[in-house]
Structure formats: structure tokens, C-alpha cells
């Protein structure tokens, strides 16, 4: 019997070792395959090549490639603003590329990113090369980009969705009341609308005022840009939107001067082929991945400007899957700032911020490292689509702040929300009982209403946090706390409005921020180095256990329902006092 158990144990051990070895081989094989799938060989364009820029999917500042997700069949399209801008510049400088052919589909992004791409396209046109745009159906944002093209074509059965801007807020107060949940709200800031869905059934007058103000500013910039590019009056554009011509026959777009001609895709490609001087039967194009791989001479120089990307909500570091494509700003950004401060080759830093805010505590940690870095070398913030609330908190101490005209920023204010589920417990006939040693040991217990003395404590805590926020902004912008409070109170401003009020220094994109950083550091000859504030994919992958491959399987099994699963999981990160925008910013 003893010999039997010995043999059985040895056999089981052998099986486990074999499974482990096979798993390791599988993982590294997976890595090898995924890496080869994600890599693109160096590309040399033939004479008269056309850069085909397809505008489709979600746009982020600087995406982290996830080859495993690609291998698992996840096909979510994500474009990088950094890649689009750099490839337009490469196409401009490469003598074999004759022009850009834009195929506009459905690009989801903010108006500030659209402005940055549009500016790059105008610069490309100034070099003497052509731009031709085509779409089956132009979205409003894509048309804003394409309006700068030499020729704008639309499918004869297509549409141009130029309808104006709208913002919708959903309110949960009555729904929560029905299920027996009462949200206890603590905030500072007249305009801090993040809590309104839980306490009102419609927008407050202050919140409505700020939404109307920033939307009006953005729409004015958009219509002025289109009017200038198409050489038509702004009134004609607003008339097109107000008359509902977006739903009219395609001929109306030509009649109104918004489109040059109606053409099918094949006809447009034939036009582009002739414009480029190509003689082949098919239009010879290069997509963004090929243009990215064109070899450029960029010698490493001893003096560097580092570009640090911080994108997403600000939240504590949480265990996560390497397959999660959602970006977040954690204390890793603070650690990267420390590394950049100590790197003697880095003479200046451009801090690219694209965030609606989040945890006030994490924002404070990043703010502190911005202050420490500024003592050693210049740090210039480049604001993306949104750098508000916590996003402004981590920006305010920079040497200089550069924002796009349509960036959403400001929102200087904080809040806290505590649910009381007494009514729900009563409906479910649930009861609780607590034993405690001290007065406030059970503060935050959701099963009972909050006492008045507890409310006073929480409100004073929130107000102290707001005072700290004001102090950080006042010191960073060299303004008084009273002046910051006057333009604070949770109010959202566009970059253009923020510059008028002293919250930002200048308007422009990341190139403007790089130029400013070089000037502050007195650099004329330098190279750029890019740093991501997000987690490194392969490092995270190796650190995780093999079992986390299940996450990709779950995503495939749940399909569209995975987003609900992820949202519920992310609720765990919303802890402590929040400095966050009052709503998710919708694409243009």
C-alpha cells in the first residue's frame, strides 16, 4: 500500500510539472505570436504613394498596444492621436508621398483632439501636397476635420450630420427613492454638477449656465473653422443645422457649399489616383501602420525633453487585468515624475494630461511630484480633450500650461457621496446590529441614516479639501485664493475661456508645449523621449498569473455585457473624496 501511494504521488507530481511546463511554453508561444502580429516591418513608400488616413474607432492620446487582446479576437478599434500627428508630419516630409486621402467613418473623440489633427492637416496642405476627403456618411466631428481638404466628396446616398451640439444628463434621484436608497451629498462649488443626478430631477440653473457657455464656445470655434475652410458664412452653417438639412438629400450639401461633389468611393479613389499621378489599376496607398514604420533619421541627443502621458480617470492603484484597455492615472504617474526629475539627460518635461479627474488623494500625490520636479527643471502641461477637476489639480503647479481652445478644464471643486440604503433594507426585511468601541467607529454604515454630527464632520472634511485645492491652484498660478474661488466653484471652462481667466498660459497643442519647454530649458538641439503613465503591457503580463488569461475569455463570452461587468468592478475604485467632472464628455 505504501508503494502504491508513493507511485500515485509521483505520477500526480509528474502531471502537475508537465502541465506547468506546457503552460509556460504556451504563454511564451502566445507572446511570440502576439508580438509578431503587432510588429510592422520597416516600410519604404514607392513614388507617388498616397497616405490613406481612415478615421474610425476611438481616439486616445497614446494607446498601449495589446497584442494578446488582438490574438484573442478583440477587434475594438483604437487610434492614437500621437500616431496620427506624427504620421501626418512624416507624410509631409517624405518626397514619395504625394498627398493624403481621408476616408471618414466614425471617429469618437473630443473636440480638442479634432482641433489638433485639423491643425496638422492644414500644415500638411501648406507644404503643397493635396488632401482629398470622402465619406459614406460624415459625422459632425469627422466633417470638421475633412472641411480643410482640397476636395470634399460625399456618397450620392450619404448624409452630412451637421446638427449642432447637445448635452444630456440622466437623473437617478427618483429611481433611487423607489428602491429605497438615499444619497447623502457633500460638496463645495456652486457649479459642481457631478452630484446633481443623485439629488435633483433636472439641471440646476448654474449647471445649465456652464454647459451652455462651454458648448457655445466650442460650437463657435467649429463653425468659424468650417466657414473659413469652405469660404462660406457662419450663418449658412447654422442655417444648415437649424433647417435639418442633415436629413435632406445629399445634393443639399453641395448646394450649401459644404461638399464639392457627390461621388462613390470607387470614383473618389480614381480621382485621387489621377491627382497623385499613379498609372496602376488600383490606387496605391499606405495606411497609418506603414507610415509609422517609415525610417526617419532621429539621432539620440544628450539633451532630451520627456513627454509623459497621463490619460484616464485618476484612481488608486488596483489589481487589474493586462487585457483591460481602459487607461487610468494612478500614483505610477507620480513615480514617473520622480524618475524624470532624477534623470540628468532629461532637461525638461511635457506633461500631457487628458483626464476628467477622480481621486483627490491621488491627485495630491501627483501634484506634489510636479512641484518637486519644477524645482529642478521646467515642466509644461499640454492639455488634451479634458483636464478638469483632478485633471486641473495635477496640472496647476506646472511651469506653464498649454491648452487647446476647446479643451474642457477648470472644474475646481470636490464632492463626496454616501449612500443610505435603509429603505432598501426595509423592503427586503433585512436588519443589522453593530457593536462599537468609539463614537465614529461605524461612520459610513449604509444601513442607517447619517447623524447630524457625522454630516458636520464630513462637510468640514470636504470643505478642507476644497480649501487645499484652492491653495494649490493659487500657488501654482500666482493668484489669490479669492480670485481662484471666484472662477472655481466647480465651474467648467473651455481652454479659450480659461486663458482669459488666467487658468492656462497659452493655446495650442503638444507641439506648442514642446516648444515652450525647450525655451524654458534654453534648448535649441534636443531629442524627444516618450513616457507612459499607464502600466507597461508585457511587464504586467509577466507579473500576472497564467490564470488571468481567463479575463479575455470572459470578455469574449460576455460580449457587450462585459462593459456592465467592468463598470460594476470599477465602482470599487471610487473611494474617498472625488475631484471629478460632473459628467462624461460626449464626442463632437
Q: Which residues are catalytic?
A: 192, 389
Residue 403: which of 495, 340, 488 has the closest Cα?
A: 495
| Distance from C-alpha of 330 to C-alpha of 154, rounded to nearest angstrom | 44
Residue among 195, 27, 20 nearest 583 (CA): 195
Q: Grid cell 487610468 — which residue?
A: 328
What the block records as the C-alpha cell of 379 is 515642466
Give dist(CA 25, CA 42) in Å, integer: 29
Name the residue with cell 516600410.
43
- Dist. CA 432–CA 421, nearest whole Å: 12
Strand arrangement of the beta sheet that strand 328-329 belongs to: 182-188, 414-420, 578-580, 357-359, 313-314, 328-329
The residues with which 413 forms a beta bridge, in sequence order, are none
Cell numbers of 81, please? 492621436
Angstrom distance (rounded) from CA 496 to CA 305: 26
Q: Which of 350, 336, 341 has its CA nearest to residue 376?
A: 341
Angle at 196 between CA 193 and CA 202, to 5 degrees: 110
DSSP symbols for 165-206: --------HHHHHHHT-EEEEEEE-TT-GGGHHHH-SS--HH
Do 237 and 147 form a contact (C-beta atoms < 8 A)? Answer: no
Q: How far apart are CA 64 and CA 130, in angstroms?
A: 31
Cβ–Cβ contacts within 10 Å for residue 154, how many?
28
Amino acid at each position: 500500500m505504501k508503494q502504491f501511494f508513493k507511485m500515485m504521488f509521483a505520477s500526480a507530481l509528474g502531471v502537475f510539472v508537465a502541465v506547468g511546463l506546457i503552460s509556460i511554453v504556451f504563454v511564451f508561444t502566445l507572446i511570440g505570436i502576439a508580438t509578431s502580429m503587432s510588429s510592422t516591418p520597416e516600410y519604404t513608400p514607392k513614388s507617388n504613394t498616397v497616405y490613406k488616413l481612415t478615421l474610425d474607432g476611438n481616439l486616445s492620446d497614446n494607446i498601449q498596444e495589446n497584442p494578446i487582446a488582438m490574438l484573442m479576437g478583440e477587434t475594438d478599434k483604437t487610434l492614437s492621436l500621437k500616431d496620427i500627428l506624427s504620421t501626418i508630419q512624416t507624410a509631409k516630409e517624405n518626397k514619395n508621398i504625394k498627398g493624403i486621402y481621408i476616408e471618414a467613418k466614425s471617429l469618437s473623440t473630443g473636440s480638442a483632439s479634432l482641433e489638433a489633427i485639423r491643425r496638422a492637416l492644414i500644415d500638411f496642405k501648406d507644404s503643397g501636397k493635396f488632401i482629398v476627403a470622402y465619406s459614406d456618411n460624415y459625422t459632425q466631428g469627422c466633417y470638421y476635420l475633412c472641411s480643410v481638404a482640397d476636395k470634399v466628396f460625399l456618397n450620392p446616398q450619404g448624409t452630412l450630420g451637421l446638427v449642432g451640439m447637445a448635452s444630456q444628463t440622466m437623473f437617478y434621484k427618483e429611481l433611487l427613492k423607489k428602491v429605497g436608497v438615499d444619497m447623502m451629498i457633500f460638496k463645495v462649488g456652486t457649479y459642481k454638477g457631478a452630484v446633481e443626478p443623485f439629488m435633483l430631477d433636472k439641471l440646476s440653473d448654474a449647471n445649465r449656465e456652464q454647459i451652455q457657455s462651454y458648448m457655445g464656445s466650442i460650437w463657435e470655434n467649429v463653425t468659424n473653422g468650417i466657414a473659413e475652410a469652405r469660404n462660406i458664412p457662419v450663418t449658412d452653417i447654422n442655417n444648415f443645422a437649424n433647417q435639418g438639412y442633415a436629413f435632406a438629400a445629399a445634393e443639399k450639401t453641395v448646394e450649401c457649399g459644404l461638399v464639392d461633389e457627390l461621388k462613390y468611393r470607387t470614383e473618389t479613389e480614381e480621382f485621387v489616383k489621377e491627382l497623385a499621378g499613379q498609372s496602376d489599376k488600383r490606387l496605391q496607398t499606405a495606411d497609418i501602420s506603414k507610415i509609422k514604420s517609415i525610417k526617419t533619421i532621429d539621432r539620440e541627443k544628450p539633451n532630451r525633453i520627456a513627454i509623459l502621458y497621463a490619460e484616464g480617470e485618476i484612481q488608486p492603484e488596483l489589481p487589474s487585468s493586462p487585457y483591460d484597455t481602459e487607461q487610468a492615472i494612478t500614483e505610477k504617474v507620480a513615480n514617473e515624475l520622480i524618475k524624470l526629475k532624477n534623470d540628468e539627460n532629461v532637461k525638461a518635461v511635457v506633461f500631457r494630461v487628458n483626464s476628467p479627474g477622480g481621486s483627490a488623494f491621488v491627485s495630491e500625490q501627483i501634484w506634489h511630484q510636479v512641484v518637486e520636479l519644477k524645482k529642478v527643471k521646467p515642466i509644461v502641461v499640454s492639455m488634451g480633450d479634458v483636464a478638469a477637476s483632478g485633471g486641473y489639480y495635477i496640472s496647476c503647479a506646472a511651469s506653464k500650461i498649454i491648452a487647446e481652445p476647446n479643451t474642457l478644464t477648470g472644474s475646481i471643486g470636490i464632492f463626496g457621496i454616501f449612500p443610505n440604503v435603509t429603505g432598501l433594507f426595509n423592503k427586503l426585511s433585512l436588519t443589522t446590529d453593530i457593536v462599537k468601541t468609539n463614537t465614529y467607529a461605524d461612520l459610513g454604515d449604509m444601513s442607517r441614516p447619517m447623524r447630524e454630527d457625522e454630516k458636520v464632520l464630513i462637510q468640514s472634511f470636504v470643505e478642507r479639501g476644497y480649501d487645499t485645492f484652492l491653495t494649490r491652484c493659487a500657488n501654482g498660478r500666482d493668484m489669490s485664493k479669492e480670485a481662484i474661488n471666484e472662477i472655481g466653484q466647480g465651474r467648467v471652462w473651455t481652454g479659450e475661456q480659461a486663458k482669459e481667466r488666467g487658468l492656462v498660459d497659452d493655446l495650442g497643442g503638444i507641439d506648442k508645449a514642446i516648444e515652450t519647454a525647450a525655451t524654458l530649458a534654453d534648448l535649441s538641439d534636443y531629442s524627444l523621449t516618450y513616457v507612459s503613465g499607464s502600466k507597461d503591457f508585457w511587464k504586467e503580463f509577466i507579473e500576472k498569473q497564467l490564470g488571468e488569461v481567463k479575463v479575455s475569455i470572459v470578455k469574449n463570452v460576455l460580449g457587450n455585457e462585459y462593459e456592465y461587468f467592468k463598470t460594476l468592478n470599477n465602482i470599487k475604485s471610487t473611494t474617498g473624496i472625488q475631484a471629478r467632472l460632473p459628467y462624461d464628455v460626449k464626442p463632437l
